[in-house]
A and B are shown apart, each in its own frame.
Chain A
Amino acid sequence: MNSKLDFKRMTRRQWLATGLAGAAALSGAGLLSTFLYHGRKAPVAILRADDYSRPLERLLCEGLQELGFNAAAVKGKRILLKPNLVEVDRSAPQVNTHPALVRATVEAFRSLGAASVIVGEGSGHSLDSLYVFERSGLREALAGSGARFIDLNYQDPVIVANEWRYSSLRTLAFPEIIKQVDWVVSMPKMKTHHWAGVTLSMKNLFGMMPGSYYGWPKNVLHHAGLSECIADIALTLRPQLAIVDGIIGMEGDGPIMGDPVKAGVIVMGTELPAVDATCARLMAVNPDRVPHLAMAKKAGFTIDAWGIDQVGESIRSARREFRLIPSIPAQRDLRR
């Protein structure tokens, strides 16, 4: 079952030039979400991947094809990959997006004719993104790939109105690199989260927000409403693609101190709320119980199974119950 993407969809530059700016001219979130979503089903692919040593590049190319991306769609595109690089502990492979998956993604896009692939992170806990880049193993993994790394924490800001206003923030400051790329790809780790319930492709975008303006940790976003900011940022930025590293995920006290869980999947899709809702189901979490997903739904984005064009593995075959901690309020009622 293939879904066909609408490749007439705006490029990032067009989106920034007309979408974000133009959003102010639209009368409210309902109209905007109609404009974004068109009522079509959101394609999401679940790919089986038991470990990081298998040829992930080929698998990713298959996934892209399943989603409707072919060489013509990728050719000439300038692509920013945003992995989840949080903290460094090489004995804890469940913390960061695995370097092998990032490298494979670089290779997959290059093989399809991307003009450039950049990897960027604005680490939220560590002031030193280069330290995390190096000690996570990503520097080593990207050596010779031609992909350069950029620290998003110190980029000049692109300031846009926060039209969704789930949070108290009137504007959002994105790093200027978003004006220089055509696609942003969110590449999170599949994890539970002690404040947000789960952290997936939407929450991963906190790392897009420069620490220079939001602090370390991105405390401004916490004070303005964590789940609300997740929704605002993801629905405003609208990356073109999400690739979730669920080969080894994290359960329990995520996003840092939880335990590894072998979920054995990569999840990909073009609508981030739909991707994250699918991941939630794979983790045995009810997406409607995750506040930021519920907000995305309210905004008109699909998180319902009936609105998702599921390809690859079925949820039933790939489902792996992630351990939740009942004493952590954000994880308490996620299964209901």
Chain B
Amino acid sequence: MSRENVSARLRQRILERANAALSDPGRELRPDAAAWVLIALHREPGEGDLLSRINAGLMKAQLEDGRVPVNPRFPNAPWPTPLAVLAWIGREDSKAALDRAVQYLLTWRGRHWINREPETVGHDTSIPGWPWVSGTHSWIEPTGLCMLALRGAGRGNDERCALAARMILNRQLPSGGWNYGNTTVFQTQLRPMPHSTGVALAALAGSPGIARQEVAKSIDYLTETVGTIRAPLSLGWSLTGLAAWDAEPPAAPDWIAESLEREKELPEYDLSLLSVLYCAAQPKSENPLLSLNS
């Protein structure tokens, strides 16, 4: 299947599902899902009303200090904030919200400490990144997303991004790939995971001074694995991560189409999953996760 065809199918499914989700008056999308739709369709003509409505809901979810929690009852779970930043970049109606979210990300950090027991957990626990939930350790996906968001917002030169790149490299598994963010526990190396690896590769690709050689094993791991993946989140991030290093497999559109087909046998894909797939279906220069960083 061509890239154009699979993109068109994804776009249609996202729009149908977003319209259906918002058919009840007063109902809003979950903030991360709203942000993902806006990220994916930010260049789409003719959907202004729908996207404006989705954006209004996303802006309503933002707290005064700039964070965007996943649920108003969980203000300490502001992990959708980098997604909101990516969604708001370039939107005239969201400049103030964007500025506040960026400021929040620059001050928000995970819990860190000097690792005095490297035989227990192997990574350098002192290098700051970003957590999922305030008061907890920094992990790969939120750190990668925050790097992408800050770079997209023109803050890629901030020290936080340089530290985050160091943190992600430090968590790379010796044999290649990343998982959620542990390398060894009790001196045993853990397994890599494709979506974590995809996020890490996408984030590092735009970082100054990161040589391909430093992530070559991870590119190899993902190249070997991606052909077997059809779950949308893992497939989408794997393809985006590989595209970031110009290593996207030619069969990518077919795999995305197969993932869409498989939805019949699975629970209905969340809008965030469809949007991740949509981003991955674009050529590198138009993948919103990568082009915002160029």
Contacts and interface: CB of A to CB of B under 8 A. Distances in A.
Contacts of A328: 186
Interface in A165-224: 173, 194, 211-217, 219-220, 222-223
Nearest to B269: A130
A87 B186 CA distance: 18
Contacts of B111: 223
Contacts of B267: 130, 148-151
- Give the secondary structure class of A's interface: mixed
A194 B133 CA distance: 23
Given A87-B193, A126-B180, A131-B194, A215 B132 contact: yes
A219 B139 contact: yes
Nearest to B74: A213
A211 B231 contact: no
Contact of B133 (A89, A149, A213): A213
A325 B191 CA distance: 20
B265 to A, nearest CB: 7
Contacts of B215: none
Nearest to B262: A134
A194 B185 contact: yes
Nearest to B276: A128
Contact of A87 (B79, B139, B191): B191
Interface residues of B, number: 39
A237 B194 CA distance: 33
A159 interface: yes
Contact of A215 (B139, B185, B266): B139
A327 B160 CA distance: 36
B248 interface: no
Contact of B132 (A89, A159, A216, A325): A216
Nearest to A216: B180
A158 B25 CA distance: 23
Given A89-B191, A157-B73, A127 B136 contact: no
Interface in B238-263: none
Contacts of B73: 157, 159
Interface in B187-202: 188, 190-191, 193-196
A253 interface: yes
Contacts of A127: 141, 180, 195-196, 233
Contacts of B273: 130
A325 B133 contact: no
A75 interface: no
18 contacts: A89-B191, A125-B180, A128-B195, A128-B234, A131-B229, A133-B231, A135-B228, A135-B231, A151-B267, A151-B270, A194-B185, A215-B77, A217-B180, A219-B131, A219-B139, A253-B188, A257-B188, A328-B186
Interface of A: 87, 89, 125-128, 130-131, 133-135, 139, 143, 148-151, 154, 156-157, 159, 173, 194, 211-217, 219-220, 222-223, 253, 256-257, 325, 327-328
Given A127-B195, A131-B195, A256-B190, 11 more contacts: A128-B195, A128-B233, A128-B234, A130-B266, A139-B265, A143-B265, A149-B267, A156-B71, A157-B73, A219-B137, A223-B111
